[in-house]
């Protein structure tokens, strides 16, 4: 029995959110086991590169553009922003907060990316239209939600019987600021990557090269600042499982599913599933880690998710309007009449992945 493609898309996106949710929890477990926040990303990205490099080499062997010094510099910068800074901020932020709120903050990435794209003039914004206003309100709601989570922890509204106290005695506000830095780096990386892929049309090669430079940068940082030689040893099955899961499942399987889903259903469809990840993380973290929930965090999550959907809805409406304009223009072109589509922009709603 053949499963309809639309159903396949829903299954793929749901499964990928389970994979990403597990990524947050496995990373938290690794931190609880005492892994080095400098060494762990090295092992994780080596695992991911072992998966990405062969795929990139064989699948893009014929279509890969020549590798020049200019592209190498761009791949180095992608690795710096998209691997080294993004993952570094995430690990120190997660260490001071919780998996649920780390996942919640990531829902702000599409809104922040849209804001960066507008400021850099990759994306248009028309405040006289309802879709333009929706996107602006979405950005404001996402920023407000991130601010609430950072500045107001509030009273505990739910505490499971298994309370491990992951965040007791830690600087919650500082952790949330690190997570905000993580989201800003992610957004900047997406904008940079979109620009690079316009000229270097080999996405798997770009991903593998980014991963390679991220490994080199983390190796240099870890060798310089990690003084404990024991930090390079994998001391438990929990550490090994965390490395394999984050490298193979989150950076490999889930990313592949997401790319396929975006290709078939579009970036707007994929973005709608982002809050599912936060919901799943909340359940898993509560059961596995005994995570407590605070009023400020819940309010912030609601703001961020509302902002996400406002930006997604606004972009969806804008795309529909552009299609309505584009079709008559295409007909006119077919009739050899002039029609200027230069103002039309392509959809720019990215979907975060790990």
User: pLDDT tens digit string along 319-330?
Assistant: 787 776 665 555
Mean pLDDT in residue range 120-126:
79
Q: Tell me, what's the pLDDT at 317?
A: 84
pLDDT tens digits along 189-227: 988 888 898 899 888 899 899 999 999 999 999 999 988
DSSP at 3: P
User: In this predicted structure, what is the pLDDT of residue 177?
Assistant: 92
Q: HSE, CB side, 13 Å, CA atoms: give it for residue 63.
A: 12
Q: What mean pLDDT do residues 29-54 have?
A: 92
Among candidate residues 310, 308, 311, 303, the one with its CA nearest the CA of residue 148? 303
Query: Cα separations (Å) of 9 from 207, 223, 249, 260, 263?
Result: 23, 43, 18, 9, 10
Nearest to 343 by CA among 320, 316, 325: 325
DSSP state of 153: -
Strands (E), the chain: 156-158, 293-294
Contact 232, 104 (CB under 8 A): no
Residue 247 is given by DSSP the state I
Per-residue buried b or exposed e for 297-310, using 16+ beta carbons within 10 Å of the residue's own CB: bbbbbebbbbbbbb
Burial of 114 (0-12, 13-18, 19+ CB in 10 A): buried
Span 291-334, pLDDT tens digits: 888 888 899 999 999 998 998 888 888 878 777 666 555 555 55
pLDDT digits (tens, 9 = 90+) for 254-302: 877 776 777 677 666 777 788 888 889 988 888 888 888 888 889 999 9
DSSP letters spanning 73-121: HHHHHHHIIIIIIHHHHHHHHHHHS-HHHHHHHHTTHHHHHHHHHHHTT
The 3-class SS string of 249-289 reads: HHHHHHHHHHHHHHHHHCHHHHHHCHHHHHHHHHHHHHHHH
94: tokens are 């997660």
Q: Report domain extents, the chain.
A: 15-334
More confident residue, 349 or 184: 184
Q: What share of the chain is helix, strand, coil (3-state, %, to 5)?
A: 75, 0, 25
pLDDT of 341: 40
Strands 293-294 and 156-158: antiparallel
The length of the chain, given as a count of residues: 354
Sign of the Cα torsion 312, 314, 319, 324 reads: positive
Sign of CA dihedral 330, 126, 190, 19: negative
């Amino acid at each position: 029995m053949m499963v309809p493609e639309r159903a396949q898309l829903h299954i793929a996106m749901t499964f990928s959110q389970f994979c990403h949710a597990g990524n947050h929890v496995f990373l938290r477990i690794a931190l609880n086991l005492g892994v080095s926040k400098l060494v762990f990303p090295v092992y994780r990205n080596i695992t991911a590169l072992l998966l990405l490099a062969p795929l990139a080499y064989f699948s893009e062997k014929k279509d890969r553009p020549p590798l020049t010094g200019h592209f190498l510099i761009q791949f180095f910068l992608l690795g710096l922003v998209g691997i080294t800074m993004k993952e570094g901020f995430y690990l120190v932020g997660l260490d001071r907060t919780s998996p649920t709120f780390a996942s919640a903050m990531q829902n702000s990435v599409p809104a922040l990316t849209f804001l960066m794209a507008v400021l850099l003039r990759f994306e248009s914004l028309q405040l006289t239209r309802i879709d333009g206003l929706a996107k602006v309100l979405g950005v404001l709601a996402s920023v407000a939600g991130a601010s609430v989570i950072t500045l107001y922890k509030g009273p505990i509204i739910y505490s499971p019987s298994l309370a491990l106290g992951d965040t007791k005695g830690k600087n919650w506000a500082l952790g949330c600021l690190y997570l905000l830095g993580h989201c800003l780096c992610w957004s900047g990386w997406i904008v940079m990557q979109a620009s690079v892929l316009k000229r270097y049309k080999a996405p798997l090669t770009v991903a593998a090269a980014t991963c390679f430079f991220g490994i080199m940068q983390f190796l240099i940082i870890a060798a310089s600042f990690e003084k404990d030689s024991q930090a390079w040893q994998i001391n438990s099955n929990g550490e090994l499982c965390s490395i394999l899961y984050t490298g193979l499942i989150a950076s490999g399987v889930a990313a592949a599913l997401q790319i396929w889903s975006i290709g078939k259903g579009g970036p707007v469809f994929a973005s709608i599933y982002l809050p599912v990840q936060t919901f799943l993380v909340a359940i898993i973290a509560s059961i596995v880690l005994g995570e407590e929930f605070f009023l400020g965090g819940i309010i912030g999550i609601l703001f961020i998710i509302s902002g996400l959907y406002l930006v997604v809805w606004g972009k969806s409406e804008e795309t529909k309007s552009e299609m309505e304009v584009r079709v008559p223009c295409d007909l006119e072109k077919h009739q050899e009449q002039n029609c200027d589509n230069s103002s039309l922009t392509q959809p720019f709603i990215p979907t975060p992945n790990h």
